[in-house]
Structure 1
Amino acid sequence: MRLRFVSLMLIAFLVPALLLADGGAIKGKVTDQETGKPLAGANVFLKGTRYGSSTDVDGNYTIQKLPAGSYTLVVSYVGYARYEKEVTFEDSAVMTLDVALNRTELISEQVVVTASKSAEKITEAPATIDLITARNIDEHPSANIGELLAYQKGVDYIRTGVLGTGMNIRGFNSAFNAKNLQMNDNRLSTLVATSLPLGALSTTVKEDIDRIEVILGPNAALYGPNAHNGLINTITKDPRTSEGTTFVAGGGNHNTFSGRFRHAKVVNETFRYKASFEFDRGQEFNYVDSVYVGGVAFKEFGLDRDFDSVRGEASFYFSPNPTSDFIITSGGSNSNNLGVTNAGRNQIKDWRIFFLQARYVSPHFFGQVYHTWSITDDTYALNQRTQNYLTFIAAGFPEEEAERRSLHEAWFGSSPDQGIALNREANFRDHSRRWNAEAQYNNTWAGFHVTGGFQWQRDIANSKGTFLLDQAGAIELD
Structure 2
Amino acid sequence: MDRRFTILLLLCLFASHWAAAQNYTVRGTFRDADTREPLIGVNVRIAGTGIGAATDLDGNFTLSAVPEGSYTLEASSLGFENFQRSIRVSADLQLGTLNLKSTALTLGGEVVVSATRRPERLTDAPASIGVITSRDLDNLPSFNVGELLNKVQGVEVVRSGVIGIGINARGFNSAFNVRMLQLNDGRNGMLPGGTGLPAGFYNTIIKEDIERIEVILGPASALYGPNAHAGVVNTLTKDPRSSEGTTVVFGGGNQSVLSGRFRHANVVNEKLAFKVNAEYTQGRDFEFIDTVYIGAIGVPELAPDFNFRSIRANAAVYYSIKPDADLIVDYGIGQGSNIGVTNLGRNQIDGWTFSYLQARYVSPRVFAQLYNSWNNAGNTFQINGRTVNYQTLLAAGLSPEEAKRRSLLPVEEGGLGFPGFKDESSRLNGEFQYNNSVGSRFNYVLGASFQRDVANSLGTYLFDIDGDIIINQFGVVTQMDYALTDKLKFVGAARVDYHDYYDLQFSPRLALTHQVGENGAVRLTYGRAYAAPSIQFLEFLFPIAGVNGAIIGSGQGLTVENLVTGDRRMIDPLQPEVNQTFEFGYKGLAAKKLFVDATAWYGITRDFISPAVNLFVGGERIVERGGQPIPENLSGINLTYLNFGEVNNWGIDLGFTYNFNANYSFGAKYSYFGSDITQADKFEDDPNLALLSHRLGRHFACLMHLPTVLILTLLPRTYWTTS
For each residue in 1:299-320, what CA deviation from the matched residue of structure 2 results, as whole angstroms up to 9, or x when unmatched? 2124111111100111111112
> SS at the partner of 1:109?
coil
Q: Offset at 1:469? A: 1.1
Q: Does the CA-based 8 Å contact 1:366-1:440 persist in structure 2?
A: yes
| 2:473 equivalent to 1:472 | no
| 2:425 equivalent to 1:432 | yes
1:463 counterpart residue number: 457
1:131 counterpart residue number: 131
1:157 counterpart residue number: 157
Q: Does the CA-based 8 Å contact 2:157-2:166 persist in structure 1?
A: yes
* CA distance, structure 2, for counterparts of residue 74 and residue 231 of structure 1: 36
Q: Offset at 1:295? A: 2.5
Q: What's the % identity of the aligned pairs?
A: 43
Following superposition of structure 1 onto structure 2, how do residues 264-279 of structure 1 map, counting pairs within 5 Å?
A: 264-279=265-280
1:442 counterpart residue number: 435
1:433 partner letter? S
2:244 partner letter? E
For each residue in 1:80-117, what CA deviation from the matched residue of structure 2 results, as whole angstroms up to 9, or x when unmatched? 869999xxxxxxx9886967645474242211111222
2:28 counterpart residue number: 29
RMSD value over aligned CA atoms?
3.7
> SS at the partner of 1:428?
coil
1:386 counterpart residue number: 387
Following superposition of structure 1 onto structure 2, how do residues 367-406 of structure 1 map, counting pairs within 5 Å?
A: 367-397=368-398, 399=400, 400=402, 403-404=405-406, 406=408
Following superposition of structure 1 onto structure 2, how do residues 166-315 of structure 1 map, counting pairs within 5 Å?
A: 166-193=166-193, 194-315=195-316
* CA distance, structure 2, for counterparts of residue 110 and residue 365 of structure 1: 24
> SS at the partner of 1:464?
coil
Following superposition of structure 1 onto structure 2, how do residues 316-355 of structure 1 map, counting pairs within 5 Å?
A: 316-355=317-356
For structure 2, list consecutive stretches of 5 or more residues without a partner in the other structure: 1-14, 46-51, 68-72, 85-89, 473-723
1:356 partner letter? L
* CA distance, structure 1, for counterparts of residue 35 and residue 178 of structure 2: 45
Following superposition of structure 1 onto structure 2, how do residues 107-122 of structure 1 map, counting pairs within 5 Å?
A: 107-122=107-122
Compared with structure 1, are the counterparts of its residues 426 and 30 closer, same or farther at alpha carbon in structure 2 (3 Å cutoff)? same
For each residue in 1:132-156, what CA deviation from the matched residue of structure 2 results, as whole angstroms up to 9, or x when unmatched? 1101111101111111112221111
When structure 1 is superposed on structure 2, of 210-219 and 117-126 the one drifting more is: 117-126
* CA distance, structure 2, for counterparts of residue 458 and residue 83 of structure 1: 50
Q: Does the CA-based 8 Å contact 2:208-2:263 persist in structure 1?
A: yes
When structure 1 is superposed on structure 2, of 311-320 and 321-330 the one drifting more is: 321-330
1:318 partner letter? Y
> SS at the partner of 2:130?
strand
Q: Does the CA-based 8 Å contact 1:29-1:61 persist in structure 2?
A: yes
Q: Offset at 1:201? A: 0.9
> SS at the partner of 2:422?
strand
Q: Does the CA-based 8 Å contact 2:355-2:374 persist in structure 1?
A: yes
Q: Does the CA-based 8 Å contact 1:53-1:63 persist in structure 2?
A: no
Q: Offset at 1:276? A: 0.7
1:133 partner letter? T
* CA distance, structure 2, for counterparts of residue 352 and residue 19 of structure 1: 64
Q: Does the CA-based 8 Å contact 2:266-2:274 persist in structure 1?
A: yes
* CA distance, structure 2, for counterparts of residue 223 and residue 74 of structure 1: 37
2:471 partner letter? L
> SS at the partner of 2:378?
strand
Compared with structure 1, are the counterparts of its residues 124 and 81 closer, same or farther at alpha carbon in structure 2 (3 Å cutoff)? farther
> SS at the partner of 2:393?
helix
> SS at the partner of 1:351?
strand
Q: Does the CA-based 8 Å contact 1:332-1:354 persist in structure 2?
A: yes
* CA distance, structure 2, for counterparts of residue 83 and residue 364 of structure 1: 31
2:682 counterpart residue number: none
1:7 counterpart residue number: none
For each residue in 1:4-44, what CA deviation from the matched residue of structure 2 results, as whole angstroms up to 9, or x when unmatched? xxxxxxxxxx9x979978xx443133344858989699889
* CA distance, structure 2, for counterparts of residue 373 and residue 177 of structure 1: 20
> SS at the partner of 1:130?
strand
When structure 1 is superposed on structure 2, of 451-460 and 99-108 the one drifting more is: 99-108
> SS at the partner of 1:137?
helix
Compared with structure 1, are the counterparts of its residues 110 and 60 closer, same or farther at alpha carbon in structure 2 (3 Å cutoff)? closer
Q: Offset at 1:477? A: 0.9
Q: Does the CA-based 8 Å contact 1:440-1:453 persist in structure 2?
A: yes
For each residue in 1:210-241, what CA deviation from the matched residue of structure 2 results, as whole angstroms up to 9, or x when unmatched? 11111011101111121101111111111122
Compared with structure 1, are the counterparts of its residues 120 and 188 closer, same or farther at alpha carbon in structure 2 (3 Å cutoff)? same
Residue correspondences, number:
435
1:475 partner letter? I
When structure 1 is superposed on structure 2, of 370-379 and 388-397 the one drifting more is: 388-397
* CA distance, structure 1, for counterparts of residue 60 and residue 149 of structure 2: 37
1:342 partner letter? N
Q: Offset at 1:265? A: 1.1
| Structure of higher CA gyration radius | 2
Compared with structure 1, are the counterparts of its residues 407 and 114 closer, same or farther at alpha carbon in structure 2 (3 Å cutoff)? farther
Q: Does the CA-based 8 Å contact 1:278-1:311 persist in structure 2?
A: yes
* CA distance, structure 2, for counterparts of residue 122 and residue 40 of structure 1: 14
Compared with structure 1, are the counterparts of its residues 124 and 18 closer, same or farther at alpha carbon in structure 2 (3 Å cutoff)? farther
* CA distance, structure 1, for counterparts of residue 362 and residue 20 of structure 2: 26
For structure 1, list consecutive stretches of 5 or more residues without a partner in the other structure: 1-13, 68-72, 86-92, 410-415
1:457 partner letter? Q
Q: Offset at 1:407? A: 5.7
TM-score, length basis structure 2:
0.55
Compared with structure 1, are the counterparts of its residues 258 and 321 closer, same or farther at alpha carbon in structure 2 (3 Å cutoff)? same
For each residue in 1:281-332, what CA deviation from the matched residue of structure 2 results, as whole angstroms up to 9, or x when unmatched? 1111111111122333212124111111100111111112332221111100
Compared with structure 1, are the counterparts of its residues 328 and 33 closer, same or farther at alpha carbon in structure 2 (3 Å cutoff)? closer
Q: Does the CA-based 8 Å contact 1:129-1:215 persist in structure 2?
A: yes
